[in-house]
Amino acid sequence: MLGYMRKNEARAIGFTHQGYYFGIPLWLTKSERPMIVAKWYPMEFIITFLQRSEVFIRCRLTPLKRHRHHLTSIKSIDE
């Protein structure tokens, strides 16, 4: 599929895990500040919109809490 990053490509770049962000499949690095990339490139625009919306809404509703993105089903690429 055009614009899809496969497991071998993701591993070569340095991604170590896979997961979902609001149902969008992505590659990520498991660290304090994870780097995330959608497995299919056109979804990057939706992820950017969701991230900014999530930060804005959470900062307005709970300004004193530390923000964490809604990443789910995180597992190693090697599994």
Segment (H or E) for 76 = strand 71-76
Q: Is the pLDDT score of 63 beyond 80?
A: no
* Residues 6 or more apart in contact with residue 61 via CB below 8 angstroms: none
Helices and strands counted in the chain (H then E): 2, 4
Q: What is the pLDDT of residue 35?
A: 86
Q: Give the mean pLDDT of 54-77.
A: 78
If one compares 69 and 22, the residue with the highest pLDDT of the two is 22
Task: Break the chain into its structural domains and give their ranges.
Answer: 7-74
- Secondary structure of the chain in HEC code, one letter for each residue: CCCECCHHHHHHHCCCEEEEECCEEEEECCCCCCCEEECEHHHHHHHHHHHHHHHHHHHHHCCCCCCCCCEEEEEECCC
Kindly report, residue by residue over 19-59, the tens digit of the pLDDT.
998 888 999 987 777 788 999 998 989 988 988 888 888 88
